[in-house]
Amino acid sequence: MSHINESGRDRIIRVILGVVLLYLGWSGTVTGGLGTFMQFFGFVPLATGLVGWCPLYALFGFSTNRRSMQAAGSH
């Protein structure tokens, strides 16, 4: 799939980061404004990691996925 612009390692890191942020925010470990921020911001890396597509990568024409870079270079 050429629309995936994240490598497997990038995706794993994003999912782990998202889960950690969500846990810290929703469990009450981090409270106040930072905790609220983590409660919602944690969905961003989690979603992009699960889907494999980052809108900022696409906007700037960046990719960590070797397969999509090779496919783009072959056109």
Assess if residue 3 is contained within a domain.
no
- Residues 28-57 have a mean pLDDT of 96
Average pLDDT of span 24-39 = 96
**22 in any annotated domain:** yes
- Report pLDDT for 74: 52
Share of the chain above pLDDT 90, in %: 83
pTM equals 0.83
Residue type, 51: V
Segment 23-52 mean pLDDT? 97
Beta-carbon contacts of 23 under 8 Å, excluding residues fewer than 6 positions away, are: 29, 42
Indicate whether 68 pLDDT > 80: no
Query: Is a pLDDT exceeding 70 seen at residue 13?
Result: yes
Structural domain count, the chain: 1
Contact 9, 66 (CB under 8 A): no
Q: Provide the domain limits for residue 42.
A: 8-74
